[in-house]
Structure 1
Amino acid sequence: MEHDRTGQPGFAAGVLGALEVRLDGVPLPLGPSRQRSVLAVLLLAADRVVPIDRLMDRVWGARAPARSRSVLRTYLSQLRQTLAPAGVTITWQDIGYRLSIGTGEVDVHRFRRLLSEARAGNDPVRAVELADEALALWRGDPLAELDTPWAEEIRERLDNERVAAAADRIDWALECGRHRELLPDLFTRTAADPLNERAAGQLILALYRDGRQADALEHFQRLRRHLIDELGTEPGAELQHLHQRILAADLGPVRATAASPVPRQLPAPPAPFVGRQEELDRLDAALAETGGMGIAAVAGPGGIGKTWLALHWAHRHLDRFPDGQLFVDLHGFSPGGDQVDPAVAVRGFLDALGVDRARLPAEPAARAALYRSLVAGKRLLVVLDNAAGAEQVVPLLPGSPSCAVLVTGRVKLASLIDRHGARHVRLDVLTEEEAYALLAERLGDLRVATEPAAGELAELCGYYPLALSITARHAATRPRVPLAEFAAELRELGMDMLDNDDPAASLPAALSWSLRAMTGAQRTVFALLGSAPGPGISLPAAAALLGLSPMRTRKALQALEDASLIDRHAGDRYAMHDLIRAYAATVDVPEPERRAASVRVLDFYLHTAHAAERLLNPHRQPIDLPSPAADVQVHPLPDDTAAMAWLTAEHPQLLAAQQAAAAAGHHRVVWQLAWTLHTFHYRRGLFRDELAVWQAALTAAEPHPAVRSLVQRLLGRAHALLGQLTEATEHLNRALELAERHHDTALLAYTHYDLAGTWELSGNDQRALEHGERALDLFRGLDQPVREAQALNGVGWSAARLGDFETARSHCQAALVLHRRHHDAQGEAATLDSLGYVEHQTGRHRQAVHHYRRALALRRELGHAYEAANTLDNCGHPYAALGEHDQAREVWWEALELYREQGRTEDFERVRRQLDGLGAWPRITATVSAAR
């Protein structure tokens, strides 16, 4: 709201920039551009008569329209109606029009009155305050909407008045002894106008009074040379007189002023404080004295420790700010919800800086200017805590490079970063070690060291500082209760245990404040993301979840990221901390909307995973999927490389999606998701995950016999791959029974094939051969050449294991022909591996190496890391038989690394013994992690 000089609400107008007219703070509608120009001319001549011809010339110049007097009368009539409620009148008097504003204010007239008062007085301190208030009225070019010659002349005249006012202000500030704070601006002014003798004299005087006599004299000599070179003249008499007085040290004392208080507004430092060394280093770098004002903006979600970090850093560096520290909590996110107006914060800063309230300027802009003047040149720290946005922060920035500003808030202050060079410091959860140290500080080293549950407590809190503090408070106030009980409560109650009637001690309350500034649609997005399966989500998956276009989804996610509720990672992926996710799940969203979102995201994962599986294993017997839900766009995958990359990135989400489908009773989705992951799991050796998805599928399997038989078969295969052969044969035999009962020839063939593999793993190659031959016969009858080729290779392998190498070779060669004819690279690699074994066992070691190398190349190309390790292992034997030990070491060493990565303990130990047996290289002492 605008105020007049008496402090009463009223009419205020501005022409020192784009025309602005307000009544009681509310903008008045001013009509078209020329009508606004008429008003601007009258305001500039307020309370004086403007002849009509002069008025028209000032508004239109030489471009007056036809019937311009009639147009002018229309404009004036409309303006009278608009301004009447403000008590502003426009009347005809003799030869022209007069605008009477009564007690209202026009900025240009106020500017002149303030300067007249400053120049008439004998108090430089008051003069500086009045000049600051006057200069703060400028908002740009005067009469910005007028383009007549008269307007150009007035603009030039007013600009000269502004320059003169700024120069007078410097003189008054020098009288007050504020020479040091003036130096940066004076250097800038003299650099922009090197021949301006007044500015040069002010700089020379400021340098002298700052104890820099040599610099002052050197600047005089530089100016003198410049004037002689450019204008052929010596400095003026006033400047030469100043020079002589400096040489004679005859400038007299500076007017004494009352010592300003040194503000010490920082709250007490947080205790205890642990860790955060990386963030402290970043603040050191951001707020280092580098010649420009350092601004650091610490951002993060509620309860992450932003204020904790800022105050710790501030107290650690008090020596860098001898002129004081200003602090304000802007209440951007707090229980009351009432944010602090920047004007109120400035008023508080002026009080802390010792400004007499009777001398406070009336206008907020003038107060801000006075604040900047008072802190200019001072080594001062300004801490702006809990900011809602840049609009709260910018008015509180000092204008001096000697100051530093530390801002905390939940939002990314984009304009502060872009326009003011602020350094963004993102705050995340504590490290595991820091979280443990925080508990030790709160609960005591002995209690934490002697109770193993301390580490579990830290993990259950997600290393989130406020959650850790709340949990530590529960434990510290109940020293006789074991930490294991608090861990159990936290597992059972989750977010409820971190709640409290005191909002300052409640994590849900702290997080809720972030939602207040959001729209309803943004809150819905936040809630739905909290229920998305998996630890993260990609942009395409989020679009499906939300039922939005990718562009709208990106904007929605950007809003949550800016609010520090989600994090963006490489590859357009987004993640949410577990505790924030738990809170999001409590945000109210209509249940039908939640269910629809769940169906969409499950359909996205299922259909995209199905497309990936078809690329990886195109010869596999397909399954039928219903069409995806509306608004679901399946992610495009151009080839099998893209399919492997997508499955790798989305694997955790796909496992979680299957669990979500099971919880929601979507049984079809459960077993179909398991089916889509089969080839990927096999290629990567993720057999425990393969077992888990098929166990879930068995629990949720549909009553259809073909589905139950499929699930039993692939569950048995998963057990076999993990060496759990008893369980494997049980499930495979059940699948066989179902297939025979329902006369499902294809399922019979697949099950016999899997039984062959299971018996081979158990060491019974004869049983393996029998099942393999039965599978081969069935596949031949089904006219499935690729499956026939797989069965041929299986029979060949079993024959080789039984020592029948001729049968083995003929079957494997026949399989190789079929695989190549039908472009089945995976089957070709498996067959080449079998042929390598056959050739090695029959003494044809060079040919064996050739087959193994070709199989290895294909498996690497397919990303089949599990089988690539086996082929490398196999390849070392013919190399060793040929006496090529370096080559044997090379492939076995690579196999060893893969076995270690895959957690294959027995294979790792066997290859290690093989390498030790070759000698020459140091014995291997590394160990492999537990098998997955």
Structure 2
Amino acid sequence: MTIEFGVLGEIQAHSDGVAVDLGPARQRSVFAALVVDINRTVPVDVLVDRVWGVRPPQRAKPTLYSYMSRLRQVLDTMADEASMDGASTNGASTDRASTNGASIARRAAGYALLADPGVVDVNIFRDLVGQARARDDAGAATLFERALGLWRGEPFAGVDTPWFSSLRESLLGERHACRLDRNDVQLRRGHHATLLTELAACHDAHPLDERLAAQFMLALYRSGRAAHALRCFEQVRRALAEELGSNPSDELRRLHQQVLDNDPAIGVPAPTAVAAPAAVAVPTTGIPSSRDRALPRQLPAAPRWFTGRQSELAELDKALGRAGQPGAAVAVCAVSGSGGIGKTSLALHWAHQNADRFPDGQLHVDLRGFDSSGEPLASAAAVRVFLDALGVDPGSVPADQQALTGLYRSLVADRRMLIVLDNAVDSAQVAALLPGSTGCAVLITSRRRLSGLAVTHGAHLVPLDVLTVSESRELLGRHLGEDRLAADPGAVTAVLEHCTGLPLAISVVGARAAAGAGFPLAALAEELQDESARLDALDTGDLSANVRAVCLVSYRALTGEAAEVFRLLGAAPGPEIGLAAAGSLLGRSPSAARAALRELETVHLVEQPAPGRYRMHDLIRLYAAERAAEDRKAESRERALRRVMSFYLHTAYAGDRVLSPLRHHHLELEPPVDGVTPQPLADQTAVIAWFRAEYACLLAAQRLAERNGWDVLVWQLARVLDGFLWRQGRLHDLVALWRTGLAAAERHGEGSVLAWAHRRLAHAWARSGNHDDAVHHGDLALAAAEEADDLAEQARIHDVIAWSWARQGDDRQALAHVRHTLRLQRLGHDPLAQANALNAVGWYEARLGDYEQALAHCEEGLKIQGRHGFRDGEACTLDSLGFIAQAAARHHEALAYYRRAHALFHDLGNLYEEANTLANLGDVHLALAQLDEARHHWHRAISLYDAQHRAEDARRLQDKLDRAAR
């Protein structure tokens, strides 16, 4: 029995040439959705999406299962009939494999149609096209015509879901490319007359296709219709100007001039067809001799817009430059990276630049490892393509896989060739295509990191990252021209920021902007600003130039478990995620999370910029978030988010207690939710390192909690992040943190929480220099604390208000408030809080000139802090003692105090106070006439002020530097 499946027209199946009834239209579309992924498992949700689109019926899955059952019966009937035929013919039953039958297998992740890929017309079409492109013109013409003869109409006729429509457009594009290649072959053979009618119709359908226009012009000219050819050029020129705002290509303008000049070079070629390679005619083996071998030139055109990649090109030079050297192994280099990152462009650019290094030719094959519309190309099929290119008679190609590979390796053994294996699915697919001798170089591209090739064949691995900012701008400029970029630099910056260095995204934007020459670039930048619509904006309507489609291909290649991890990562807050946080997000141990992330890392859907830190490209993250919204139930996604938020809260809380042991008497947290393991942090160094790594994720977590209405979590996150942010001098973040936290506290309504929130916002405003808001929120905090009868909180509020008055230069007001603080703290039982208050009183007394009283208060506070090992408090009090000594002109004593304070602030990661102490050290050195030392410390302080956006402090210190210079 022979079976045939067709999708290049109406969806159909034939058994021994007889049509098989596949059932109603929707059932046939289910069959087609399996056929295009033959022998691969298609998840049920994916099938539903393909068959029904964005609005499936409520009972889509039960309906799908019913269709599957009926289709299985159809295929079983075909197999049974084949078995009966075998029994009547041979006297014995024939098993299903021997009848070349097909079946539908139910697997854990979905369904798979199991059959020989060669029974599907679209696969036959692609194989024929691949063979044709590797043959001489006479052979190619026959193969192209056979390929085009398989088409019966539009693919998947009668089916109109978004997925089928998108795939239909892609296949029509492949047919169009095949026709163009066939036209070139037939024009070279002098068959312009037979093409003329078809070329006219195709040109009407594709008036902007310049390659097609050139073919039509050439056929018209050779048919004695030069005037019509010139008229065709003028129509194309006008259409390009009106539709795209562009001019005809150099090639088309050159042909136009040749028609005007009646150039003999474009006249009718000699009637004799190009001879087939002599080796094909050899009747004995069909294998060409070394003298008569074909010289393949299979490289596709060089990428037009290639930009940058200088370091990667240098790596390729080094890795592949050793090909042919005595004693060297086969030179193999594998370029890997995410979809749309520019792997193929890099490979083809290098291949064209270095083609002269390989005098025996270049082989190229698209292995279709990550293809939107089909199975990966089998290694044996790729070898056959290469054998055709090397001049082997198809009738002499062995059927045995090992013999096939051996013949290929024998033919390239003594040759210096470049072999480009594009879009490989894995190391196994590539292994059979590697030559055994050292004369050849092999350049591979894949979305997977082909580590196995590095182990088994010494391959040099070249991971490809996004373009730099300058490279991104250069690429956009190549599409639009420097004049247009210079006209609106702000829009250019915004566009490139949203494309985040992905070459495909930049090229899509460039193509869209070039197509609308009168359309302002700012409008496109505004469209990209909306995250929810950004992937729509990066879509040209072509699957090959569509960021979402490129992501989908990688997503479909994932196992079910890895796909779930991918979706959850897309929903997680922050630009990246640590391993421990990922474990809680997934509800697994860190080691299990690492294993789950490894598959995503292998196909470049995530990267690991530092050990244990995982990051997605911004556009991939948007796609993952889309999948999360589509593919998971809301409650499952919420549970995962609750877990990671609980992880961040509890780990940050533990870290903040290490940094600020005085601050958490009133913060009671619910236990971590199930599946969460807070990260242990051994000491202050580990705490600071963790906060620095996670702070962007922690701020994003608070914003996510706010969007979801989790008010308790919002203000609790503010409390546990506060200490780190002010230590780091991140004042703008601190203000935003507490404005959000205060709003949540007001909705929550608890008095002590409200007092805390007002106080911390007052503190943030005071540090930022906004006195009025600081005092306003300080007063509100004091009222809330008095209403709650919370003396300790009242004491802390007076301290904050004092700080704000001091920033205004009113030290007397400040001293009055800190004396309130000290009085209230003495009523309590917290010696460290009393020590802090003693230091504050001493500081403001010193500011007002009462040095003796100031010294007594600060020394009393320092003793308490020393007894309890409170290094934070010691650092602050040592700074105060330094100021007192400095004011009393005891400069060397001041230096000693300041140096001890600076060392503690530095060790504690308190960058805010470290900057202040460095400024003080500079002042003392200036008083000692040590100008170089003063400048050194002031420069370091200004650097920290700038990093903390403390413009006024930086300006004040810069004035000192300028005066010192004068």
TM-score of the pair, normalised by structure 2: 0.67
Q: Which amino acid is the alignment partner of residue 318 of structure 2?
A: A
Note the 1:189-268 alignment, pairs <5 A: 259-268=292-301
Structure-1 separation of matches of 2:907 and 2:541: 59
Note the 1:340-355 alignment, pairs <5 A: 340-355=377-392
Q: Judging changes above 3 Å, is the alpha-carbon distance between structure 1 residues 310 and 889 closer, same or farther for their aligned structure 2 residues?
A: closer
Note the 1:467-482 alignment, pairs <5 A: 467-482=505-520
Aligned to 2:565: 525
Instruction: Quote how far apart the aligned CAs of 1:834 are.
Output: 1.2
Q: Which amino acid is the alignment partner of residue 850 of structure 1?
A: A
Aligned to 1:315: 352
Matched, 1:384 2:458: no
Aligned to 1:749: 795
C-alpha offsets along residues 877-912 of structure 1, whole Å, 9 cap, x if unaligned? Answer: 344434455554443344344334434333334334
Aligned to 2:551: 511
Note the 1:560-571 alignment, pairs <5 A: 560-571=600-611
Matched, 1:895 2:941: yes
Which deviates more, 819-828 or 906-915?
906-915
Q: 1:574 is paired with a residue of what secondary structure? A: strand
Q: 1:873 is paired with a residue of what secondary structure? A: helix
Q: 1:586 is paired with a residue of what secondary structure? A: helix
Q: 1:782 aligns with which of 828, 847, 855?
A: 828
Contact 1:799 1:808 in 2 (8 A): yes
C-alpha offsets along residues 844-883 of structure 1, whole Å, 9 cap, x if unaligned? Answer: 3332222222222222222222212212222333444344
C-alpha offsets along residues 266-302 of structure 1, whole Å, 9 cap, x if unaligned? Answer: 1111112111111111111111134322111111111
Instruction: Quote how far apart the aligned CAs of 1:456 are.
Output: 1.6
Q: Which amino acid is the alignment partner of residue 527 of structure 1?
A: R
Instruction: Quote how far apart the aligned CAs of 1:918 are.
Output: 4.7
Aligned to 2:697: 653
Q: Judging changes above 3 Å, is the alpha-carbon distance between structure 1 residues 625 and 847 closer, same or farther for their aligned structure 2 residues?
A: same
Aligned to 1:144: none
Matched, 1:799 2:842: no
Q: Which amino acid is the alignment partner of residue 479 of structure 1?
A: A
Q: 1:396 is paired with a residue of what secondary structure? A: coil
Structure-2 separation of matches of 1:435 and 1:654: 30
Aligned to 2:871: 825
Matched, 1:540 2:615: no
Q: 1:295 is paired with a residue of what secondary structure? A: strand
Contact 1:310 1:408 in 2 (8 A): yes
Contact 2:575 2:616 in 1 (8 A): yes
Q: Which amino acid is the alignment partner of residue 663 of structure 2?
A: R
Note the 1:804-815 alignment, pairs <5 A: 804-815=850-861
Matched, 1:615 2:658: yes
Aligned to 1:868: 914
Q: Judging changes above 3 Å, is the alpha-carbon distance between structure 1 residues 257 and 557 closer, same or farther for their aligned structure 2 residues?
A: closer
Structure-2 separation of matches of 1:820 and 1:916: 39
Matched, 1:708 2:751: no
Structure-1 separation of matches of 2:635 and 2:762: 38
Contact 1:412 1:563 in 2 (8 A): yes
Q: Judging changes above 3 Å, is the alpha-carbon distance between structure 1 residues 857 and 551 closer, same or farther for their aligned structure 2 residues?
A: closer
Which deviates more, 790-799 or 476-485?
790-799
Structure-2 separation of matches of 1:855 and 1:626: 37
Structure-2 separation of matches of 1:636 and 1:832: 31
Aligned to 1:485: 523
Structure-2 separation of matches of 1:818 and 1:677: 27
C-alpha offsets along residues 72-126 of structure 1, whole Å, 9 cap, x if unaligned? Answer: xxxxxxxxxxx9989xxxxxxxxxxxxxxxxxxxxxxxxxxxxxxxxxxxxxxxx
Matched, 1:326 2:363: yes
Structure-1 separation of matches of 2:767 and 2:904: 22
Q: 1:461 aligns with which of 499, 505, 510?
A: 499
Aligned to 1:429: 466
Instruction: Quote how far apart the aligned CAs of 1:366 are.
Output: 0.5
Q: Judging changes above 3 Å, is the alpha-carbon distance between structure 1 residues 894 and 335 closer, same or farther for their aligned structure 2 residues?
A: closer
Matched, 1:577 2:621: no
C-alpha offsets along residues 371-408 of structure 1, whole Å, 9 cap, x if unaligned? Answer: 10001110111111111111111111111100011111
Contact 2:336 2:343 in 1 (8 A): yes
Instruction: Quote how far apart the aligned CAs of 1:420 are.
Output: 0.5
Contact 1:658 1:669 in 2 (8 A): yes
Q: Judging changes above 3 Å, is the alpha-carbon distance between structure 1 residues 266 and 836 closer, same or farther for their aligned structure 2 residues?
A: same
Aligned to 2:778: 732
Aligned to 2:535: 495
Instruction: Quote how far apart the aligned CAs of 1:608 are.
Output: 0.5
Structure-1 separation of matches of 2:769 and 2:646: 33
Contact 2:508 2:540 in 1 (8 A): no
Q: 2:626 is paired with a residue of what secondary structure? A: coil
Aligned to 2:437: 400
Structure-2 separation of matches of 1:843 and 1:355: 96
C-alpha offsets along residues 602-657 of structure 1, whole Å, 9 cap, x if unaligned? Answer: 11111101111001111223311110111111101111111111111111111111
RMSD, aligned CA: 2.0
Contact 1:685 1:866 in 2 (8 A): yes
Q: Which amino acid is the alignment partner of residue 481 of structure 1?
A: F
How much identity, in percent, do the aligned residues show?
46
Structure-1 separation of matches of 2:763 and 2:567: 39
Structure-2 separation of matches of 1:639 and 1:905: 33
Matched, 1:758 2:843: no
Q: 1:673 is paired with a residue of what secondary structure? A: helix
Contact 1:264 1:326 in 2 (8 A): yes
Structure-2 separation of matches of 1:488 and 1:843: 60
Q: Judging changes above 3 Å, is the alpha-carbon distance between structure 1 residues 643 and 257 closer, same or farther for their aligned structure 2 residues?
A: closer
Contact 1:892 1:911 in 2 (8 A): yes
Instruction: Quote how far apart the aligned CAs of 1:455 are.
Output: 2.4
Q: 2:682 is paired with a residue of what secondary structure? A: coil
Structure-1 separation of matches of 2:771 and 2:912: 19
Q: Which amino acid is the alignment partner of residue 608 of structure 1?
A: T
Structure-2 separation of matches of 1:842 and 1:747: 35
Q: Judging changes above 3 Å, is the alpha-carbon distance between structure 1 residues 504 and 256 closer, same or farther for their aligned structure 2 residues?
A: closer
Q: Judging changes above 3 Å, is the alpha-carbon distance between structure 1 residues 839 and 327 closer, same or farther for their aligned structure 2 residues?
A: same
Instruction: Quote how far apart the aligned CAs of 1:410 are.
Output: 0.5
* Unpaired stretches in structure 1, ≥5 consecutive residues: 1-82, 87-254, 924-932
Contact 1:613 1:680 in 2 (8 A): yes
Contact 2:657 2:664 in 1 (8 A): no
TM-score of the pair, normalised by structure 1: 0.70
Q: Which amino acid is the alignment partner of residue 845 of structure 1?
A: H
Q: 1:296 is paired with a residue of what secondary structure? A: strand
Contact 1:527 1:584 in 2 (8 A): yes
Matched, 1:906 2:960: no
Aligned to 2:39: none
Contact 2:731 2:948 in 1 (8 A): no
Q: Which amino acid is the alignment partner of residue 279 of structure 1?
A: E
Q: Judging changes above 3 Å, is the alpha-carbon distance between structure 1 residues 466 and 877 closer, same or farther for their aligned structure 2 residues?
A: closer
Note the 1:651-730 alignment, pairs <5 A: 651-701=695-745, 702-730=748-776
Instruction: Quote how far apart the aligned CAs of 1:723 are.
Output: 0.3
Aligned to 1:218: none
Q: Which has the larger radius of gyration?
A: 1
Structure-2 separation of matches of 1:280 and 1:312: 9
Structure-2 separation of matches of 1:342 and 1:835: 78
Q: 1:383 is paired with a residue of what secondary structure? A: strand
Aligned to 1:604: 647
Q: Judging changes above 3 Å, is the alpha-carbon distance between structure 1 residues 376 and 868 closer, same or farther for their aligned structure 2 residues?
A: same
Instruction: Quote how far apart the aligned CAs of 1:553 are.
Output: 0.9
Q: Judging changes above 3 Å, is the alpha-carbon distance between structure 1 residues 615 and 317 closer, same or farther for their aligned structure 2 residues?
A: same
Q: Which amino acid is the alignment partner of residue 637 of structure 2?
A: R
Contact 1:292 1:402 in 2 (8 A): no
Aligned to 2:242: none
Instruction: Quote how far apart the aligned CAs of 1:822 are.
Output: 2.0
Q: 1:552 aligns with which of 592, 608, 611?
A: 592
Contact 2:601 2:608 in 1 (8 A): yes
